[in-house]
C-alpha cells in the first residue's frame, strides 16, 4: 500500500510537470485570463500529487518505525513501549 502511494504520487507529479508546459502553451494563445485559470488548476493538481506522495512517505516511515521497534523488542525480550509510555517511566 505504501509503495502504491509513492508510485502514484511520483507519476502524478511527473505527468503534471510535463502536462503543465503543454497546458500553459495552449492557454497562452487565449490570453491572460485563460493563463491565470490554468495556473490555478495546475497548482491544485501539483499540490494533490505531493500530498499523495507525502501520505506514502509517512506510511513508509511509520511502517519502518514499527518494524524496528518490534525487532528490537524481539531481540531484547522486552515490552514495546509507545513514546508516551517510554518517557513516563
Give the model confidence (pLDDT) of 3-34 as tens digits. 888 899 899 999 989 998 998 988 889 888 98
Contact 30, 66 (CB under 8 A): no
Residue 54 has pLDDT above 70, yes or no: yes
Residue 48 has pLDDT above 90, yes or no: yes
- pTM here is 0.67
Q: List CB contacts of 58: < 8 A, sequence separation 6 or more.
A: none
Residues 6+ apart with CB under 8 A from 54: 9
8 Å CB contact between 13 and 53: yes
Alpha helices in the chain (DSSP H): 2-28, 32-76, 83-88
The single-letter DSSP state of residue 77 is T
pLDDT at residue 70 greater than cutoff 90: no
pLDDT at position 44 is 92
Question: Is the model's pLDDT at 47 over the cut of 70?
Answer: yes
Residue 89 has pLDDT above 60, yes or no: no
Q: What count of residues does the chain have?
A: 89
Q: Which residue has the higher pLDDT, 79 or 36?
A: 36
Amino acid at each position: 500500500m505504501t509503495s502504491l502511494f509513492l508510485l502514484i504520487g511520483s507519476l502524478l507529479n511527473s505527468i503534471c510537470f510535463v502536462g503543465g508546459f503543454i497546458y500553459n502553451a495552449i492557454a497562452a494563445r487565449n490570453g491572460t485570463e485563460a493563463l491565470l485559470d490554468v495556473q490555478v488548476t495546475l497548482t491544485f493538481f501539483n499540490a494533490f500529487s505531493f500530498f499523495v506522495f507525502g501520505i506514502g512517505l509517512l506510511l513508509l516511515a511509520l511502517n519502518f518505525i514499527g518494524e524496528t521497534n518490534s525487532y528490537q523488542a524481539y531481540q531484547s525480550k522486552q515490552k514495546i513501549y509507545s513514546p508516551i509510555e517510554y518517557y513516563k517511566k
